[in-house]
Amino acid sequence: MCGIVGAVSAKDSIAFLLEGLSTLEYRGYDSAGLAVINHGLQRARAKGRVAELAARVEQQALSGTIGIAHTRWATHGVPAERNAHPHISAGLAVVHNGIIENYEALREQLQALGYVFTSDTDTETIAHLIQACFKGEIGEPAENLFSAVQCAVKHLTGAFALAVVSEEEPDGLVVAREGSPLMLGITEEGHYAASDASALLSVTQQMMYLENGDVARLTRDAVVVVDAVGQPVKRDIVTSHLSANAVELGEFNHYMQKEMFEQPQALGNTLEMLSGAGQLHPGIFGADAQGVFEQVDSVLILACGTSSYAGMTAKYWIEQVAGIPCNVEIASEYRYRVSVPNPNQLGVVISQSGETADTLAALQHAKTLGHTHTLAICNVPESAIVRETALRFITRAGPEIGVASTKAFTTQLSALFLLTLLLAKGKQRLLEADEKAYLDELRHLPIAVEKVLALEPSIQAWSQQFANKHHALFLGRGRHFPVALEGALKLKEISYIHAEAYPAGELKHGPLALVDAEMPVVVVAPNDEMLEKLKANMQEVSARGGQLYVFADGDSKVRSTDGVKVLAMPEHYGLLSPVLHVVSLQLLSYHVALVKGTDVDKPRNLAKSVTVE
Ligand code: F6R
């Protein structure tokens, strides 16, 4: 959510700043801005995309070796040029990721000191606060920008990653972080900062990850870091394993398309440890996993959005295969509700980004309630969530840029299935022959997903019929109900068609009233123990004129008739069937969005990685 970059370089920084912003644009895309130091402070801002900013920068003929830049997802204040970052206080400019919770009180304090605000943002407060610290109007007069920022961050409550430049100090920039990610790029010719490693790849793979509470000063030749108590610290420089082409679009039209088609590879990478393995070892979740899996008596899953649907699917698996209770809670609810803690419960957080504010806070809340057994399933190894759990499994989906999550979801499912099997082993509930059969199925999963992706032309043909609809229903039963939820979410977020998902048996308890000839009803119909019940539910829809679009396993014996369209899934896949069925729903949403002409990768009002509450 929002993206920041900064540079102190031997050469002009504009190209790096704009390229970095383009890489981070999926994090927020309602306005963008940059500031450079070149005979004073110069700034360009624009409502809309980075391309609009680039045009402004050219018009204003900006250049400079030191600069900061920002792409915004609005929290405080509407998307508008005056609310775009950088925010300025006299000759000092700030870009900011995160939310300052005490900004109203600070704003009043700063207004009383004579500071005039020109935006509705919390960020402008930071700019004036640093200025007030610099001048000694708050605290002792600061020696330099570095100590002014150290003074200012002590007054901030909330989450932030900041980059600050001042025309008083035209040889460097200062950055700080608390709660929001920030890393530095280390090169011979200069130093760089960004809120996401991908934005640094155009200049280097050598990265220094700042810790919470760190403030750092970057000049061309040096980086100085102090920790939360002002002590100089050394942070390791690590080589990022991300490759620049992992975040490039290549032959695809959209990141979502690329990421859907990367799923076989992403699953293969995530399950790589299975190649040739006759059995599973708990060590894949961490050194202490075996003891924990034997000891815990239940599971609590915490996550948001698509990741929570992965958790809901796992609930069916864990209770059926491992035989222990599993609850799934929406992180933003759990963190505030009064719950009954159980120290013998395994707390599992699922997150693609590892930075989702609600999921992180829910994890921290669980820990304060006494949950010591914590486990993260996450796609970003260096993320805050991974650093805060005792056990972890890193999915190897690669960077996910499309706002609508696809490959992160299917790889999360594969990791959760591994967890299910290991919990079952820990409880002595998994026969050797069953373990072997499940491992074979997991190994075959990439090929099975390929076959679903090959259905694209037929799914594309269906998409035309959704494009002029305003509503859609998604039905599933059992472990495919979360798949229906995920299908509805995908359709909503990228095509803006209102979609709801129900466990099919619930239809007659209310939603059936919505069904008429204008209502497409998408049904996830695997050939499992619920199929006959599901067929009865489909009859209820047909009898009311509803239009059924059924994804049925080949042997489901559901036939296309008037008002019933059936697409045969290539393989029936038992417990792992949700992984296949969801891919067909991803393709459906994608093609409906294409017909509707929406911005698939950057849907309105949304952004990737929700680092604000
Ligand atoms: C939907 C989507 C979101 C995320 C949610 C959690 O396509 O991407 O619902 O799943 O914001 O994000 P992570 O998994 O990064 O915690």
Closest CA to 41 of 95, 79, 96: 95
Query: In which band, very low, low, confident or very high, does the pLDDT at 277 lie, cut at 50, 70 and 90?
Result: confident
Q: Compute the distance between CA of residue 597 and CA of residue 576 in angstroms, rounded to an integer.
A: 33
By the 8 A CB rule, do 181 and 355 touch? yes
- pLDDT at site 446: 97
Q: Is the pLDDT of residue 243 over 90?
A: no
Say what the pLDDT of residue 242 is: 81
Q: Which residue has the higher pLDDT, 333 or 573?
A: 333
Which stretches does DSSP call E strand in 407-534? 471-476, 498-503, 520-525
Judge whether residue 247 has pLDDT over 90: no
pLDDT per residue as tens digits for the range 408-433: 999 999 999 999 999 999 999 999 99
Confidence of residue 278 (pLDDT cuts 50, 70, 90): confident
- Of all atoms in ligand 1, which is nearest to the CA of residue 308? 10
Structure tokens at 394: 């890193």
**CA 396 to centroid of ligand 1, rounded, Å:** 16
**CA 490 – CA 473 distance, rounded (Å):** 12
Q: What is the pLDDT of residues 66-124, one digit of tens each?
A: 999 999 998 889 999 999 999 999 999 999 999 899 999 999 999 999 999 999 999 99
Predicted local confidence at residue 35, as pLDDT: 98
Using the atom order of ligand 1, give the atom closest to the CA of residue 306.
Answer: 10
Going by C-beta distance under 8 Å and a sequence separation of 6 or more, which residues neighbour residue 407? Answer: 259, 260, 262, 263, 266, 397, 398, 400
**Distance from Cα 96 to the centre of ligand 1, integer Å:** 22
What span, in angstroms and rounded, lies between the C-alpha atoms of 123 and 118? 11
| pLDDT at residue number 178 | 93
pLDDT band at 244 (very low <50, low <70, confident <90, very high): confident
Q: Is residue 480 very low, low, confident or very high in pLDDT (cuts 50, 70, 90)?
A: very high
In the chain, the percentage of residues whose pLDDT exceeds 90 is: 91
Q: Rounded to the nearest whole angstrom, what is the distance from the C-alpha of residue 267 to the centroid of ligand 1?
A: 18
Q: Kindly tell me the number of DSSP H helices and DSSP E strands found in the chain.
A: 18, 25
Exposure letters 359-398 (e unless 16+ CB within 10 A, then b): bbbbbebbeeeebebbbbbbbbebbbbbebbbbbbbbbbb
Q: Residue 1 above 80 pLDDT?
A: no
| pLDDT at 321 (0 to 100) | 98
CA-to-CA distance for 280 and 376, rounded, in angstroms?
Answer: 18
Q: Ligand 1 — pocket residues by CB below 6 A?
A: 304-307, 351-353, 356, 359, 404-405, 489, 493, 609-610
The tokens describing 243, both together, are 């490759």
Confidence tier at 246 by pLDDT (50, 70, 90)? confident
The pLDDT of residue 28 is 87
pLDDT (tens digit, 9 = 90+) per residue, 288-315? 999 999 999 999 999 999 999 999 999 9
pLDDT digits (tens, 9 = 90+) for 128-148: 999 999 999 999 889 999 999
According to DSSP, residue 555 is labeled G
How much is the mean pLDDT over the chain? 95
C-alpha to C-alpha distance for 218 and 221, rounded to whole angstroms? 8
Q: What is the pLDDT of residues 364-393, one digit of tens each?
A: 999 999 999 999 999 998 888 999 999 999
Q: Which two tokens stand for residue 272?
A: 């790589």
CA distance 509 to 517: 20
pLDDT at 554: 83
- Which of 405, 483, 600 is the best mutation target for the ligand 1 pocket, counting ligand atoms within 8 Å of the beta carbon and taking the most? 405
DSSP symbols for 380-396 = -TTSHHHHT-SEEEE--
Nearest atom within ligand 1 for CA of residue 610: 11
Identify any residues that bridge with 232 across adjacent strands, giving them in sequence order: 226
- State which ligand 1 atom lies nearest to the alpha carbon of 408: 14
Query: Per-residue pLDDT for 434 more than 90?
Result: yes
Which residue's CA lies nearest to atom 5 of ligand 1?
A: 305
pLDDT of residue 325: 98
Candidates 580, 295, 305, 308; CA nearest to 423 is 295
Q: Which residue has the higher pLDDT, 402 or 179?
A: 402
Which residues make Cβ contacts (< 8 Å) with residue 587, sequence separation at least 6? 260, 452, 453, 455, 456, 459, 460
Report, as residue numbers or ranges, the catalytic residues: 2, 608
Cβ 37 vs Cβ 170: under 8 Å: yes
Instruction: List the residue whose alpha carbon is closest to atom 8 of ligand 1.
Output: 405
Q: What is the pLDDT of residues 158-189, one digit of tens each?
A: 889 999 999 999 999 999 999 889 999 999 99
The percentage of the chain sitting over the pLDDT mark of 70, rounded to a whole number, equals 100
Residue of 379, 365, 373, 375 lying closest to 335 (CA atoms)? 365
Check pLDDT > 80 for residue 338: yes
CA distances, 60 to each of 35, 45, 70, 90, 142 (Å): 12, 11, 17, 20, 33
Cα of 403 to ligand 1 centre, how many Å?
A: 8
Ligand 1 centroid to Cα of residue 609, in Å, is 7
